């Protein structure tokens, strides 16, 4: 989308439609949420089908406006308004525009007694930007075109800068969505290595890629074990954004980069494999976050680390019962090859602690099905060793509405991961398995380093559209992590 700002709504240029917001009053009547021509207002007030319910859209033809069409957007009751409600309502504007082939929109924004303009307008823009996304493996549809231009009416020019920032962030979310939605045969470890290299061409970004021989030299035996059955090489991707070279504060983001998960010899069912291209959603999130921070010219230092491979079946696949040694010297008995993500993450985390001098580490991964059972498809679980870091993540979650729920790491649960022949087992009983996965990762974190683990098994890839969040890959985590990092 391209953004333009115009001070005067009456001198606006023609577009395919004019977007007009409405509130629902206490007696279920409607009132316009923006000051417009009173004759137009009276016409809309008499519509029987439009009640201004939250997210309700009604398109009308109007001869006496330059656009000839108006998209009426219901915002619900003003006293119930918040940023997320505005995002959701204005996302419906874009979905309606796409279905009607409206590619140029003049947009009015609501006046709200409860919320400040600096909250209202960005939320509306963000909802529109994030909804303006399509990904389909089918013939190009003549019926679907993304919105190309938004003319932002009745606002000051200062909001144009904010709109551009939102656009850059939204583009990085869509970048992450594309990585997740693309075929696993395309987005393999070689492809992610190329993505990392391309990011290294951006200002203040440096990419280092460790290949198999270097990974072996670093004693990353857990990561290499997962790769044994694959036809694709393993890579450790290190993408560093240095926004403030004078600062020693460094946030390391470790993303799970399993490009496809068959379960290995502990094979999944065919139904269980259908969506397993999503298993690199954590990698997509951290790479998308680096991209966003660079385009936003952030003053923070951030490193994305991804151990990428697929978990395939072949003559050399790693086997249940075998023992492998991690980067920090701890040995792990493999009891389930479908618990591979924690093995790749463990080595990536241990390597980061040893080599990258992190102030804090946040890993993000589609790690356990039990997290979806516990929290559903739209909320991620977060746990870690530092309450202040967890609280900052929860604050960022509240701002972005990328929802998190804090979970414990009970030390006595670690007993279930003890092995008779190694330091740890990679899986144990199913009960509390999301927490045990977190406890397993904690064994590879330097105790001096602040650490948080985000399990996005639910919200990384959803079964149906939720307003501005599309079905399939969602890009979950990019907005959350950017919000957190910018607040540090």
Query: What is the domain partition of the chain in residue ranges?
Result: 2-155, 169-487
Domain 2-155, CATH 3.50.50.60 — does that match?
Answer: no
Q: How far apart are the first and last CA of the chain?
A: 30
Q: Among positive and negative, which fits the CA dihedral 121, 124, 126, 132?
A: negative
Instruction: Catalogue the active-site residues.
Output: 268, 342
**Tens-digit pLDDT profile for the chain (488 aa)?**
777 777 667 788 899 999 999 999 877 677 777 766 545 656 666 666 788 999 999 998 888 788 989 999 999 999 999 999 999 999 999 999 999 999 999 999 998 888 888 899 999 999 999 999 999 776 666 667 899 999 999 888 788 889 999 999 999 999 999 999 999 999 999 999 999 999 999 999 999 999 999 999 999 999 999 999 999 999 999 999 999 999 999 999 999 999 999 999 999 999 999 999 999 999 999 999 999 999 999 999 999 999 999 999 999 999 999 999 999 999 999 999 999 999 999 999 999 999 999 999 999 999 999 999 999 999 999 999 999 999 999 999 999 999 999 999 999 999 999 999 999 999 999 999 999 999 999 999 999 999 999 999 999 999 999 999 999 999 999 999 999 999 99
Note the pLDDT of residue 62.
82
Domain 169-487, CATH 3.40.50.1000 — does that match?
Answer: no
Note the pLDDT of residue 28.
67
Both structure tokens of 325: 């040694």
SS3 414: helix
- The span from the CA of 159 to the CA of 90, in Å, is 17
Three-state secondary structure along 352-410? Answer: HHHHCCCCEEEEEECCCHHHHHHHCCCCEEEEECCHHHHHHHHHHHHHHCCCEEECCCC
Count of Cβ atoms closer than 10 Å to residue 192 Cβ: 25
- The span from the CA of 30 to the CA of 16, in Å, is 24
Nearest to 354 by CA among 432, 287, 486, 446: 446
Point out which residues pair with 62 in neighbouring strands: none
| Beta-strand relationship, 149-153 and 2-6 | parallel
Note the pLDDT of residue 387.
98
Nearest to 68 by CA among 94, 99, 38, 104: 104
Nearest 5°: the CA angle 277, 279, 284 is 95
Note the pLDDT of residue 41.
59
Q: Among positive and negative, which fits the CA dihedral 388, 390, 394, 396?
A: positive
Question: 430: part of which helix (H) or strand (E)?
Answer: none
């Amino acid at each position: 989308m391209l953004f333009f700002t115009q001070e005067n709504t009456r001198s606006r240029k023609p577009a395919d439609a004019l977007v007009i917001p409405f509130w629902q009053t206490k007696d279920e009547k409607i009132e316009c949420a923006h000051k417009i021509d009173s004759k137009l207002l009276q016409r809309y007030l008499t519509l029987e089908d439009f009640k201004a319910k939250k997210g309700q859209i009604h398109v009308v033809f109007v001869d006496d406006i330059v656009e000839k069409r108006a998209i009426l957007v219901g915002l619900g009751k003003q006293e119930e308004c918040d940023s997320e409600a505005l995002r959701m309502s204005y996302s419906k504007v874009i979905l309606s525009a796409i279905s009607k082939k409206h590619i140029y929109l003049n947009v009015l924004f609501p006046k709200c007694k409860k919320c400040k303009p600096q909250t209202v307008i960005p939320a509306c823009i963000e909802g529109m930007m994030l909804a303006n996304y399509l990904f389909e493996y089918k013939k190009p549809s003549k019926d679907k075109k993304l919105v190309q231009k938004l003319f932002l009416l009745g606002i000051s020019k200062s909001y144009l800068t904010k709109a551009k920032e939102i656009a850059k962030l939204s583009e990085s979310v869509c970048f992450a969505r594309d990585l997740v939605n693309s075929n696993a045969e395309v987005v393999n470890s070689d492809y992610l290595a190329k993505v990392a290299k391309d990011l290294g061409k951006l200002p203040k970004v440096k990419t280092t890629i460790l290949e198999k021989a270097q990974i072996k030299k670093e004693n990353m035996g857990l990561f290499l074990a997962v790769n044994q059955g694959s036809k694709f090489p393993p890579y450790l991707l290190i993408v560093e954004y240095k926004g403030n070279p004078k600062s020693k504060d460094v946030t390391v983001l470790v993303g799970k980069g399993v490009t496809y998960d068959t379960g290995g010899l502990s094979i999944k069912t065919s139904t269980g494999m259908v969506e397993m291209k999503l298993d690199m959603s954590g990698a997509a999130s951290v790479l998308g976050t680096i991209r966003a921070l660079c385009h936003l010219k952030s003053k923070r230092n951030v490193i994305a680390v991804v151990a990428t491979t697929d978990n395939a079946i072949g003559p050399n696949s790693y086997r249940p019962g075998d023992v492998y040694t991690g980067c920090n010297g701890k040995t792990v008995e493999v009891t389930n090859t479908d618990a591979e993500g924690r093995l790749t993450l463990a080595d990536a985390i241990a390597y980061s602690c040893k080599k990258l001098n992190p102030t804090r580490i946040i890993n993000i991964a589609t790690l356990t099905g039990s997290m979806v059972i516990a929290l559903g498809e739209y909320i991620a679980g977060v746990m870690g060793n530092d309450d202040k870091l967890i609280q900052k993540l929860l604050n960022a979650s509240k701002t972005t509405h990328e929802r998190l729920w804090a979970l414990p790491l009970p030390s006595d649960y670690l007993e279930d991961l003890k092995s008779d022949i190694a330091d740890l087992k990679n899986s144990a009983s199913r009960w509390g398995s999301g927490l045990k996965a977190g406890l397993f990762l904690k064994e590879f974190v330097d105790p001096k380093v602040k650490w948080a683990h985000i399990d996005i098994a639910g919200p990384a890839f959803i079964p149906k559209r939720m307003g501005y969040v599309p079905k399939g890959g969602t890009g979950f985590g990019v907005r959350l992590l950017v919000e957190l990092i910018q607040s540090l």
